[in-house]
Amino acid sequence: GLDGVKVDAQGAMGTFGEGNGGGPELVRHFTSAMEGSVSDNFGASHCINCMCHSTENMYNYKLTTMARVSDDFYPRDTPSHTYHIAAVAFNSVFMGEIVNADWDMFNSKHDAAGIHAAARAVGGCAVYTSDKPGEHDFDLLRRLVFPDGSVPVALRPGRPTADCLFKDPTGYADPLASTSAPPNVAKPPADPTALKIWNTNRFGYVVAAFNLRGSAWDRRRRSYQTFEEEVSPVTAKITIGDIPAWAPTPAPGSAGVAGVAAAAQFESHFRHTDEVVVDSAADPAAAASAAELTHTLEPQLRRARRTSEGFGADSVAERVVVAYSHVSGDVKLMRASDEISVELGTRDYEVVTMAELTALTNPDSSAGVDVGAGAGA
């Protein structure tokens, strides 16, 4: 049976406005009728609005909240996959403030399944696949869910980190942007860059890094094209400053002070600030696992405690963050001056979950870092 509906091609409705009160007025009427029908038959939350990037569409949603922020996932269009991830992240900067951003489904058994799954883990979006029955990569899918099958979804729309906002991670130099370039020649920039996407979860934050170079949308051919067959590796540098609430405070009196303070206050509303503790009596197995991890990290914890001495309680330098890299499996303690440097080859990615290290006040409890579930946890 059916339990939802995707309403496509909504952006075209405004073109029929002439003689009908104008595009915005026509869209308002049709959107209201569509939402009423969806609510009556499926429920308003069971609708995906699509091809609706016009503001006359988005500003008229009153009942439905989800909207696709990208082109589709095209299983057989190889050049489209890396560009898809760039598009959903950058479009979420604006659209994510208006709608619940939908990053589309993907096939779990696909050459690009890994990079798509990593993007969904950090995207704060619905995680769903369009697999054929019986054709599933369960090893990949298990990395996106908890043991009970529930999906840990990040709390905000995934967005590029500040240092990526004005860079093109695909490396595409559009020939239409230069009158001196031959019509079919695209030269990649001299300084390759990775795309980093950040988000919030219940207990901290997550940053994912991607190498998306090599293909893009070609405006002359009106199709996705591969323009760089041999993709050079890119180096992503992940720091705790990639998180707005953890970014170093600008100098007093600068224009950025208010922005950083506002971001920190805003993000704090989406975080669960209670300590994560394991009751030894209630869950002996979990307590043993947490104790083993604590024992493994103890040398690093001792160094972190020593290096944190001498800083005031309000100092950014005092913050110590536990960072877990899901691909490499590395666990690292990070300060404001530290970074995780990752070299990414073609379609490579890394997902780093971060949680602030705090001292336990209950000696009978153990604190653990959840390294087994998806980044949205």
Write down the pLDDT at residue 217. 87
Calpha distance 80→339 (Å, rounded): 31
pTM, rounded to two decimals: 0.78
pLDDT confidence bin for 21, thresholds 50/70/90: confident
pLDDT confidence bin for 100, thresholds 50/70/90: very high
- pLDDT of 351 > 90? The answer is yes
Question: In this predicted model, what pLDDT tens digit does every residue of 252-274 receive, in sequence order?
Answer: 554 444 444 444 444 444 444 43
Write down the pLDDT at residue 232. 87
Q: Which amino acid is at 324?
A: Y
Contact 202, 377 (CB under 8 A): yes
Backbone angles phi, psi at 334, to 5 degrees: -120, 145
Write down the pLDDT at residue 27. 95
Half-sphere exposure of 61 (CA within 13 A, CB side): 24
Beta strands in 151-214 (DSSP E): 159-160, 195-200, 205-210
Q: What is the mean pLDDT of the chain?
A: 80
First CA to last CA distance, the chain: 31
pLDDT confidence bin for 202, thresholds 50/70/90: confident
Can you tell me whether residue 36 is helix, strand or coil?
Answer: helix
Write down the pLDDT at residue 332. 93
Question: In this predicted model, what pLDDT tens digit does every residue of 167-198 receive, in sequence order?
Answer: 989 887 655 554 444 445 555 454 689 999 99
pLDDT confidence bin for 313, thresholds 50/70/90: very low
Question: In this predicted model, what pLDDT tens digit does every residue of 279-289 receive, in sequence order?
Answer: 455 555 555 55
pLDDT confidence bin for 139, thresholds 50/70/90: very high
- pLDDT of 344 > 90? The answer is yes
Write down the pLDDT at residue 298. 55
